[in-house]
Homo-oligomer: A and B are copies of this chain.
Amino acid sequence: MVRYKITFAYDGTNFAGFQVQPHQRTVEQTLVTIVNRMAKNPEPAIKVVGSGRTDSGVHALNQVAHFDFPFVIPEESMVRALNSQLPLDMMVKKAEIVDENFHARFSAHHKHYRYRVQQGEFVNPFRRNYTAHYKYPLDLAVMNQAAQDLVGEHDFTSFVAAGAQVKSNVRTIYSAKVWREESSGEVCFDFVGNGFLYNQVRIMVALLLEIGNGQRPVDAIPRVLAAKDRQQARVTAPAAGLYLMSVDYGEEKD
């Protein structure tokens, strides 16, 4: 068996998220079906392990997964073979033969998420599945200032979706930035961290929108963090605005 690391993009609009679910079209299931077909039904069936889940409607520009394949195919041929069978809303960008110690989830060093918001009174029809829509004024300088309070190691209990169960809600955010993209006019939120809790980015964005619109003060975040109470951050921004931009595995420099 040879282990492949693949880097791939998907438009999350028509997927019920990443993870396999019965009777649902998911990213993981789509890959599992194709990889096993390419391997001509080996026993046991090949599993595809992603760097982490994304929810229904969430997009990825550079998601990472690994799988163990029964025979060697050159890396570029693996990219072409996968893309020739994938639906058009998924695209493999890179395939690499990696050491068997590489694990798409456990070896991940940090992740970069971006969230996109379109402003304006009405929804731009072409961006309805690719941004959230916010019709009220926003002070981006205030939002960017407030976002810096998220940077560092924190207990993000106030920013985790109800029902999520993990051992610890402590995560580290290495950088946070709120800015306007000139070419599109869209507001972008960039977060780089060692891991994110379920819905964490979407809850952080919703809180920053409230701050940017003056519904909360610029220094609201330290108090919300300290409360360790999900009721403090009431809103979750829609899935459509969220993109997994990249997963970094530390040792690589490319």
Contacts and interface: CB of A to CB of B under 8 A. Distances in A.
Nearest to A87: B125
Interface string A104-127: 000000000000000001111110
Counting chain A residues whose Cβ lies within 8 A of the other chain, the interface size class is 20 to 34
A9 B127 CA distance: 12
B125 A90 contact: yes
A10 interface: yes
A168 to B, nearest CB: 34
A91 B11 contact: no
Contact of A11 (B9, B89, B125): B125
Nearest to A90: B125
Nearest to A76: B121
A128 B88 contact: yes
B88 A126 contact: no
A59 interface: yes
B122 A126 contact: no
A183 interface: yes
A91 B59 CA distance: 24
A237 to B, nearest CB: 16
A91 B124 contact: yes
A75 to B, nearest CB: 14
A192 B92 CA distance: 38
A121 B122 CA distance: 36
A83 interface: yes
B123 A91 contact: yes
A124 B126 CA distance: 16
A130 interface: yes
Given A11-B128, A128-B11, A123 B183 contact: no
A125 B83 CA distance: 11
Interface string A32-74: 0000000000000000000000000001000000000000000
Given A88-B123, A89-B128, A90-B125, 7 more contacts: A11-B126, A83-B122, A88-B125, A91-B122, A91-B123, A92-B122, A126-B130
